[in-house]
Chains A and B, each alone.
Chain A
């Protein structure tokens, strides 16, 4: 047995690991936001665009869902300079992760838009909304409700997928662990701590996701199905039954 608790606890409070974890967080958020933008544009192009726009969107989705993210990152950072396109590590990591994520999100967003009742589009037209207004005020806000759960799942994945950016020397959590492992050769301790960091980040995100889902469910939630009058009646009945708490 060669497990060192001192190294383990040292890695937990290690500044390099903490900075790495912070980089993982912001890299995930930035890539997700950009990926979401790309996904919305690709989904709308595929659903409402002319033949050319549809073809471009389908090609993009096909290409980035059909190839490993690892190859995409390496091509962007190491391969593109051959064509005279030089991006920094950070730019390459964000671009690769966002392009990859956008392709997956496009399909999720498309499904969300399709889940909105056709009558909503009729109603939005009937009060005089043009396409952009129908999308912005009526269709997308309702699609969001369907999209949020799988979107949260995607972000959970993103937090861990960023570890692949370590291959292009992006100094996120995985890369920090690799560097520390090379100094002390405490491989098990340092990667265990890295794994704990990922667990912590994912757990925090899960808590946030629950709140976001609750927010978007509010207009539709089961409580909303009960009319205020019925709720009052129910409270009265429960109070009379001796259970004052509701």
Chain B
């Protein structure tokens, strides 16, 4: 069982004392509930019985060395991968399935797409659409998928570009932007669908060191605005600054799930201590 390393039932109880600046934050009802999720690629078991709950406005950082299953977990939540067992509920959907008379039926492509609209995803390699301009990247899904009026969506897209600090780039093509700028556009593109959860898959790993902070600043702003976020990252500074919980994955299991203070100063798992010592020795 992967949950026995979890701390107290109320992991946020001491947060107000230790981090008064964030003490005002109130977490709402669960938005993502992951139960006993399993996933294998062939013989390679990438996720073994993973369970966790993320509440509204909560920011959870997932770390772990490569191959620990953290990116796969994120991709399973967004149904970019199908799961082999367990349950993922996100933004009110039973992801990837429909329950009829106690039986689970896998959803069809267009039904999965409908669920995915409520989740935003940011990728390591940005994956902006290179053939259209920045503003069209942001407007594509709201106008073409939701069929909303262009003028209204364009106003929102411009507001989003201003929010990520790139108001002057609306007519640029992705190739004309730096990595950090592209990633900020990618965040704006995801936000344009007004998602209930934002998933970040190593959003700064492909960036030049000097542009990492401009992306992290946008993410921190987002967390202050109350966005529910699951962030796979090695940026421990971000974890300290913005996370409500830090999770360590190892060998496809969750081995530590604690508030940042506890995670960094008094980790319960041997794996966490090893992980932290390697991060610090960089």
Contact = CB atoms under 8 A, between A and B. Distances in A.
Contacts of A137: 140, 144
A6 interface: no
A147 B141 CA distance: 25
B140 A127 contact: yes
Given A138-B129, A142-B131, A126 B80 contact: yes
A231 to B, nearest CB: 10
A123 B113 contact: no
A220 interface: yes
A129 interface: yes
Interface string B174-215: 111110000000100110110000000000000000000000
A87 to B, nearest CB: 38
Interface stretch (B37-45, B56-64, B114-122): B114-122
Interface in B78-127: 78-80, 109-110, 112-121, 123, 125, 127
Interface in A99-155: 117, 119-120, 122-131, 133, 137-138, 141-142, 145
A125 B113 contact: yes
A224 B177 CA distance: 9
A89 B189 CA distance: 52
Interface residues of B, number: 41
Given A137-B144, A224-B176, A227-B176, A128 B130 contact: no
B172 interface: yes
Contacts of B125: 119
Contacts of B79: 125
A219 interface: yes
A225 interface: yes
Nearest to B113: A130
A136 to B, nearest CB: 8
A69 B2 CA distance: 65
B78 A145 contact: no
Given A219-B175, A228-B172, A228-B176, A127 B132 contact: no
A123 B138 CA distance: 12
A138 B121 CA distance: 17
A126 B144 contact: no
B130 A220 contact: yes
Given A123-B129, A142-B130, A224-B173, A128 B144 contact: no
Contact of B110 (A124, A131, A142, A216): A131
Contact of A122 (B117, B127, B132, B193): B127
A219 B128 CA distance: 12
A119 B109 contact: no
A228 B176 CA distance: 8
Contacts of A226: 176
Contacts of A218: 173
Q: Which of A120, A129, A138, A216 gathers most chain B CB within 10 Å?
A: A129
B114 A141 contact: no
A22 B108 CA distance: 49
A129 B141 contact: yes
Given A119-B127, A122-B80, A219-B131, A130 B110 contact: yes
Interface of B: 75, 78-80, 109-110, 112-121, 123, 125, 127-133, 140-141, 144-145, 172-178, 186, 189-190, 192-193
Give the 9 A-B CB pairs with smallest separation, nearest first: A128-B117, A126-B121, A123-B127, A127-B141, A130-B110, A119-B127, A130-B113, A219-B173, A128-B116
